[in-house]
Copies of this chain bind each other. A is one copy, B any other.
Amino acid sequence: MTVLENGWIKKVSVTPPSLEDNTADADRLERALMAILKTEMVDIALPVLVNLPELLRKFDFNLRCILFEDHKKWCLAGIAGDDDKIVAGLAVDLGTTTVVLRLIDLSTGRTMAEYSFSNPQISIGPDILTRIHFAESENGLETLNRLIIDGINLAIAELCRSGNISPSGIYLVSVAGNTAMTHLFLGLNPRFLIREPYIPVINRPGCLNARELRINANQSAKVFVFPNTGSYFGGDLIAGILYSGLNRSDKTAILVDVGTNAEVVLGNKNWLVACAGAAGPALEGGVTRMGMMAGPGVIDRVSVDSETGLFSIHTIEGLPPRGICGSGIIDLAAALFLSGRIDIRGKFISDSCGTRLIEKDGLKHFIVISAEESPERFDLTISQADLDSLIRSKAAMYTILETIASYVGISLSELSTFYVAGTFGSLINPRSAITIGMMPDLPEGTYKSIGNSSLEGAAMILKDCRLMDEIDAIRNSITYVELNVNQDFMNRFSAARFVPHTNFSFFPSVNPARPFSAQEKD
């Protein structure tokens, strides 16, 4: 069968042995591989050798070899006969909250199946900090490690069922996660990640054996774990950069991964600067009282008719509304602003809101869906506190973007592309984000939602053996910028706490329908 030209599977013809050429099978195979790979050594692990003699002879000394490379060192992850049997790879996005796996046919690059599950470590703690502290307790690290590995193995079983293969058909696994999740996945102590001077156990785990990690795959399968740069910049982001192509472009672009943290990388093929800030929490489900994870029946899009001021609401899968998620809240805030229902400080304007504004427990609430309109018969509201929290978050995000741009001496308006990554990020409507001043006022075509870039990067590496060097290049060219909350930062933050900003000239495209109605009345 044919194989991807630059894939990890190589077709190999080994010279059959004779009395004149009676070296060992392993030597014979290594010799053939060295010639194909133009390298001086190929590491052949013991488990591969178990089936080598039989396979060589059964397939007339023609094999498919599944290789992997790490730091210029080639290793053999498995061998298969020259037949049609599927040789699979597994890409893993090791999220703090959600883990996503994709099964890939390594011969063609085709996605065979995809599966996601809630990180079972959530039972210990939803945030990574709680888990790191738990890891210090008796058997804590082992428990966390077991939870994630068992979860992955269950997912592998599901994927293999869908893909109609056995786990032993998986030869390569690539894993992208943040530094702490990577440590927990590897069973390494994360204790010093969160203590000055913030030292990981390892930056480049490289290529490991699935067996030693207890991943249920072929007994000789290799696991590539994306490298991290220190405690804060994880392999998930390096995978994301790889997928976005930020590092291959002449023009300067930005990648923003909006998850629990907002992680930002700015750069081009010559340089990359990165920073991270806790901008996200207010945006993701569970932080605002009403916000929730995206799911069926959750409001993910809100728009407003500029003439009538009426809201138009979209729920996931078109089901009756039962809540609102982060992207919905951003839309809603934009709609409230555009319809003159909140002022530039993000405060409700009583006159414009009319009867939709109620007071509960001394706090103003705006009724998005009234009990009469709701099938579940309760008011779906957004409170002033929710809005304040959103404004702080969006201000933090914009400040981070401004700060990193100014760090490298460019203006945000110069960005050629604005990549938005992350499951949450991919739901954000750039127009709304611009309206509330969360993201810069760039032409809409500049925004590119790239979804789960961590998973996509992890999948890419399984399809193209030339990309390994690129990962190291990305890692080596990143400058991590520690965002100091100094006077400059605070000044920028204060200016960004208005909708869209104190300086309206930064957001020329934002035109509220009835601007400042409330203020005019003041």
Contacts and interface: CB of A to CB of B under 8 A. Distances in A.
Contact of A187 (B50, B196, B202, B209): B50
Contacts of A46: 186-188, 205, 208, 212-213
Contact of A202 (B17, B49, B231): B49
A71 interface: yes
A76 to B, nearest CB: 13
Interface pairs A-B: 8 shortest CB-CB: A24-B203, A26-B202, A24-B200, A19-B197, A22-B197, A17-B199, A24-B202, A53-B189
A375 interface: no
Contacts of A201: 24-26, 49, 52-53
A47 B145 CA distance: 14
A208 B48 CA distance: 13
Nearest to A51: B189
Count of identical protomers in the assembly:
2
Interface in A22-56: 22-27, 41, 46-47, 49-50, 52-54
A230 interface: yes
A18 interface: yes
A189 B19 contact: no
Contact of A41 (B50, B71, B211): B71
A53 B17 contact: no
Contacts of A27: 202-204
Interface in A197-251: 197-205, 208-209, 211-213, 230-231
Contacts of A10: none
Given A189-B53, A191-B53, A211-B212, A196 B25 contact: no
Interface of A: 17-19, 21-27, 41, 46-47, 49-50, 52-54, 71, 186-189, 191-192, 196-205, 208-209, 211-213, 230-231
Given A25-B200, A46-B205, A50-B189, 6 more contacts: A22-B230, A24-B201, A24-B202, A25-B192, A46-B212, A211-B212
Contact of A188 (B19, B49, B230): B49
A23 B203 contact: yes
Contacts of A213: 46
11 contacts: A22-B199, A22-B230, A23-B199, A25-B192, A25-B200, A26-B201, A46-B186, A49-B202, A50-B188, A53-B189, A211-B212
A187 B220 CA distance: 14
Contacts of A17: 197, 199
Given A41-B71, A186-B46, A197-B18, A203 B53 contact: no
A23 B187 CA distance: 19
A287 to B, nearest CB: 30
Contacts of A187: 46, 50
A41 B73 CA distance: 11
Contacts of A53: 189, 191-192, 199, 201
Contact of A199 (B25, B188, B192, B204): B25
A406 to B, nearest CB: 23
A52 B71 CA distance: 22
A360 to B, nearest CB: 47
A52 B41 CA distance: 29
Nearest to A480: B22
A128 to B, nearest CB: 17
B202 A25 contact: yes
Contacts of A50: 187-189
Contacts of A205: 46
Contact of A54 (B25, B49, B189): B189
A203 B53 CA distance: 13
A159 to B, nearest CB: 24
Find the residue from A46, A71, A230 having the highest chain B CB count within 10 A: A46
Interface centre among A21, A47, A191, A197 (most CB of B within 10 A): A197
Contacts of A188: 46, 49-50
Nearest to A190: B53
A208 B186 CA distance: 20
A19 B197 CA distance: 5
A30 B428 CA distance: 43
A203 B26 contact: yes
A11 to B, nearest CB: 22
A25 B195 CA distance: 13
* A19, A47, A202, most chain B CB atoms within 10 A: A202
A213 to B, nearest CB: 8
A149 to B, nearest CB: 13
Nearest to A213: B46
